[in-house]
Structure 1
Amino acid sequence: MHNNPNSDFQSNSQTGFSAQANQYRLPTLMLCFVFIFSALAYGQAGAEKPVKEPLKRILFVVDASQSMWGQWEGKPKMEVAKLLLSRVIDSLERVPGTELALRLYGHQFTYPPGRCDDSKLEVPFGKKNHARIKAVLRNTNPRGTTPIAYSLEQAANDFEGMTDSRNMIILITDGLEECGGDPCAVSRALQKRGVALKPFVIGLGTGMNNQLDCIGTYFDAEDSDNFATALKTALNQVSKDLTTLTVELTDSKGLPSVTDVAMSIYEQEKKVLAYNFMHTMNEKGNPDTLFVDYQPVYNLELHTIPSLHLDNIRLEKTTHNTIKIPVSQGKIKLSTTNPMPFGKELYGLVRRCGEETILHVIQGGQTADYLTGCYDVEVLSMPRLLYEKIEVEENQLKQIQIPEPGVLVLQRRSPVKGDLFVEYNGRLVWIYSLDSESVTAESLVLLPGNYRLVFRAANAKRAAYTREAAFTIISGKTKKVKL
């Protein structure tokens, strides 16, 4: 056994391999194992104190690029957009608990050439700024290019520090991205970071849905009537009934101390993804409050290793909802003498004890969180190492120390056919077949241990010409074998 005092787990033989022959070959990759917890047994949305309706913040991102001079029912598109948007802003002035902001793009620099940073928050969020937004719209003339991705990226700053509200973006445009950005990727990042919910996109014209619907919920406004309908529909979605939800990830003492875990919430009936959140502690050190539609029945997936599922979640509209999920975790670290001990990155396959399902692939030098319990780790070295029955305990680090390898150099003048074996308990265990076409030197990075080559000349016609070469690999040393 490798007696390394810095290692919590060592392999179970002198050469570091399991005695079970079927562990020397890579098992078939299987689907990730999950624990299924019923909502009744491990968590239930509980009714607590009355919930205050969250503030709604709506950012209008409006295209003011040169193409908005295009005619629409005998008028420039910009004029139609100004008129209909101003009417909507008038109506929102009478809606309590709603704040608006206006970002324009393509309005400051003339095209050509235009500028791809031509985007500005003209009216920030605030109370009773409706008249100011309408005045800015009224005095805006289309001029420049269409930096949609940059504008959405900057929109994150428009919501800076506004975590207590339901944040929405309504993008109004008549064209596609013209600055080489990826508005779809930017939109996904905004949603993943929790800056804003899925944006609404209103396209002024036809044929843009294939390029713009990846940004958010897309409305194709072929004329002014459709534009008005799209605005109304988007605002109705913004005004959907919401409730508040806190997800408490509890340790073995029942305290909500676990965080920094991704969560996916699915609508059970539709079987569609509704929300993604990264579990976060707020300024007070408590689990952050989420704003979600109260109506659907939800299934929640917690992306731990293994993942946890919580199904049949029903929320109350008029009360704050709390879900508690037991999540006791510890850590495993795959320690190596250097980042690439085998001339390439080293990986380990993590499974539950005695099971074939691969839960995770851990990289050499990496520390990863796992639910408490028993795990096997198969390291993809040469030969492979199997560390069995690793008990992960809460808040404890289990370190797996990989022995420093040595190097085997095979020298030959002509092609040979042969196999490389490791000697284990009086048996030869196959680990590698030689390159029968090569006449040059071949180098292999191997774990320390006793090995044997069985080979013959490639053109030999008798088994009697078989030869053997036994040798030992020592950590950090090079062994040359002439064939």
Structure 2
Amino acid sequence: MRNVRLIIISTIFFIVAIIDSQAQHKVQQKIPEKTRILFLLDGSGSMLENWGRPHQTKMSMAKIILSQIIDSLKQNKNLELALRVYGHRSPREQNNCKDTQLEAPFKANNHQLIIDKINDIKPKGVTPITYSLEQAALDFPANPGYRNIVILITDGIESCGGDICATSRALQAKGIFLRPYIIGLGLRAEENLNCAGKFINADTPGKFHDILNDAIEKSFSKTTVSVELLDAQNQPRESNVNIMFINTTTNMTMYDFIHYRDAQGNPDTVQIDPVVDYDLIVSTIPQTVVRSVSIKTGSHNVIRIPVPQGNLRIEQEGRKNDALESIVRQKGEPGIIMVQKGNAAIRYLIGKYEVETLTFPRRKFQVEVQSNKTQVITLPPPGVVNVNTVSPGYGSLYEMKSDGSWEWVTHLNDLKSQFTLNLLPGTYKIVFRVKNTTGSKYSAYKIFQLKSGETKLVKVFG
């Protein structure tokens, strides 16, 4: 029998270990191993302009450089390529704003096909970038496990009236592709295209080669970050709060995890996608937001964020009241940042706060949270008042303030003639009128005092 129990216990521990192991694997957030790159190439008539060298056009140089780079990518087994061209089928006079074509769809080992299609391009028409980008969204297969990237190569801005910025942001928000690279061939239009992606201008063919090669390399470079959460002494000793990496373009969460420090106090290293620009949100109370975090692609980055914190606990003397709730605001700010439960020590950023307890009556406190200290607000225990009004009616409860004035606390139950109130100790007044009376002159009032822990019967008409 003893052996049977040992087997059962061992089995339980084994199952728990498996479940725990599976849970750890589930929460890992990884970048997909495979990548798709769609080259969206300008084939409009302006690509026939001379560029860089005598008797060389923008298109002829783009063909040479793009073909060389595509050929160099043949060895990357985790990469699939596709080619879409616009402005190359209809002459400019036709103003065809739907002149775009997927010339080579995503497929393994299609490098030579793409090179052949590039060499066949004959520039003719206009520049429907927005419509081409909308159609490009349909070029990416729906199967998961890939990062989708667009590299737009153009020598002109939108000529068909589309809003490329809004379209790009919408498609990024839907997760169709990450922030596009936009390479301008002798084009200075950052204000027109930078809102649609990362715009880089190539003044010369040599710069175009370097920029295109760099964009592809950055797409695959391993980029990691560690987030150090600093205390009041500027030391990375804060931890155990949620951190979100937010795509600055789409405002969508890219990575979401609870901060961790190992036994030596070192934070986790997290791999992130280098194609995206990020804002960071640290879920302290209140939140800490860092805009446009500087990330060096292909390197390990240490992000240091000051989040010095202390504790605040709200309790009632002599009793554990988990039902006690309090509203917490930053001093001078109207917005509620926390509804805090009783007896819990909650961490806040250091600073001044206003606390309003949801008791009868409410109490307000000014408190300053200090680094690694616990500020305690202690309320006296309530008393219990059993109210008898003879018959249901209308009334209110008031509390006497220190200057002798009366402050409204709550309306009374108009459906019952007997009810109970839990009140903090103090001096109170009930003003009441029975429903079936015929005038306000029949209103009655009763003044009473209540101590902590006391139970009192109040007869309004007694």
Q: What TM-score do the two structures reach when normalised by structure 2?
A: 0.54
The 1-side partners of 2:255 and 2:220 are apart by 15
Which residue identity is paired with 2:355?
Answer: V
The 1-side partners of 2:147 and 2:334 are apart by 49
The residue aligned with 1:307 is: 287
The 2-side partners of 1:437 and 1:159 are apart by 52
The reply on whether 1:387 has 2:365 as its aligned counterpart is yes
Residues 297-322 of structure 1: per-residue CA shift (max 9 Å, x gap)? 11000110111111112322332111
Q: CA deviation at 1:463?
A: 2.6
The residue aligned with 1:357 is: 335
The residue aligned with 1:437 is: 415
Q: Answer whether contact 1:419 1:434 (CA < 8 A) is retained.
A: yes
**SS at 2:427's partner residue?**
strand
**Cα distance change of structure 1 residues 433 and 155 upon mapping to structure 2, 3 Å threshold:** closer
Residues 55-105 of structure 1: per-residue CA shift (max 9 Å, x gap)? xxxxxxxxxxxxxxxxxxxxxxxxxxxxxxxxxxxxxxxxxxxxxxxxxxx
Among candidates 141, 144, 157, match of residue 21 of structure 2: 157
Residues 37-61 of structure 1: per-residue CA shift (max 9 Å, x gap)? xxxxxxxxxxxxxxxxxxxxxxxxx
User: What RMSD, in angstroms, separates the aligned Cα atoms of the two structures?
Assistant: 3.2
Which residue identity is paired with 2:227?
Answer: V
Residues 366-395 of structure 1: per-residue CA shift (max 9 Å, x gap)? 11101111111000100000002x111100
The residue aligned with 1:338 is: 319
The residue aligned with 2:216 is: none
The reply on whether 1:449 has 2:426 as its aligned counterpart is yes
Q: CA deviation at 1:465?
A: 2.2
Q: CA deviation at 1:159?
A: 8.9
Larger radius of gyration: 2
The residue aligned with 2:309 is: 329
The 1-side partners of 2:356 and 2:146 are apart by 53
* Aligned residue runs from structure 1 range 45-444, under 5 A: 157=21, 190-191=26-27, 195-197=28-30, 234=145, 240-336=220-316, 337-340=318-321, 345-388=323-366, 390-424=367-401, 425-439=403-417, 441-444=418-421
The 1-side partners of 2:19 and 2:422 are apart by 51
Q: CA deviation at 1:245?
A: 0.5
The residue aligned with 1:479 is: 456
Q: Answer whether contact 1:248 1:256 (CA < 8 A) is retained.
A: yes
**SS at 2:291's partner residue?**
strand
Q: CA deviation at 1:154?
A: 6.2
Q: Per chain length, whose mean CA-contact separation is higher, i.e. which structure has more relative contact order (CA < 8 Å, sep 6+)?
A: 1
Q: CA deviation at 1:348?
A: 0.6
Q: CA deviation at 1:242?
A: 2.8
Q: CA deviation at 1:416?
A: 3.0
Q: CA deviation at 1:156?
A: 6.5
Which residue identity is paired with 1:157?
Answer: S
The 2-side partners of 1:426 and 1:434 are apart by 22
Q: How many pairs are equivalent?
A: 272
**Cα distance change of structure 1 residues 296 and 426 upon mapping to structure 2, 3 Å threshold:** same
Which residue identity is paired with 2:21?
Answer: N
The 2-side partners of 1:456 and 1:267 are apart by 60
Q: Answer whether contact 2:328 2:337 (CA < 8 A) is retained.
A: yes
Q: Answer whether contact 1:296 1:314 (CA < 8 A) is retained.
A: no
Q: CA deviation at 1:264?
A: 0.5
The 1-side partners of 2:141 and 2:324 are apart by 53
The 2-side partners of 1:257 and 1:452 are apart by 52
**SS at 2:326's partner residue?**
strand
**SS at 2:372's partner residue?**
coil
**SS at 1:313's partner residue?**
coil
Q: CA deviation at 1:436?
A: 2.4
The residue aligned with 1:185 is: none
Q: CA deviation at 1:466?
A: 2.2
**SS at 2:313's partner residue?**
strand
**Cα distance change of structure 1 residues 413 and 468 upon mapping to structure 2, 3 Å threshold:** closer
Q: In proportion to residue count, which structure has more helix?
A: 2
**Cα distance change of structure 1 residues 320 and 428 upon mapping to structure 2, 3 Å threshold:** same
The 1-side partners of 2:334 and 2:258 are apart by 30
The 1-side partners of 2:18 and 2:142 are apart by 22
Q: CA deviation at 1:346?
A: 1.5
The 1-side partners of 2:19 and 2:390 are apart by 67
**Cα distance change of structure 1 residues 436 and 272 upon mapping to structure 2, 3 Å threshold:** closer
Q: CA deviation at 1:241?
A: 3.7
The 2-side partners of 1:362 and 1:198 are apart by 37
**Cα distance change of structure 1 residues 402 and 199 upon mapping to structure 2, 3 Å threshold:** farther
The residue aligned with 1:461 is: 438
The residue aligned with 1:141 is: none
Q: Answer whether contact 2:31 2:271 (CA < 8 A) is retained.
A: no
Which residue identity is paired with 1:267?
Answer: N
Q: CA deviation at 1:232?
A: 8.8
The residue aligned with 2:94 is: none
Q: Structure 2: which 5+ runs fail to align?
A: 1-14, 34-104, 109-139, 149-218
Q: What TM-score do the two structures reach when normalised by structure 1?
A: 0.52
Q: Answer whether contact 1:295 1:315 (CA < 8 A) is retained.
A: no
**Cα distance change of structure 1 residues 421 and 286 upon mapping to structure 2, 3 Å threshold:** same
Q: Answer whether contact 2:385 2:421 (CA < 8 A) is retained.
A: yes
Q: CA deviation at 1:437?
A: 2.7
The 2-side partners of 1:360 and 1:303 are apart by 12
The 2-side partners of 1:241 and 1:155 are apart by 34
**SS at 1:464's partner residue?**
helix
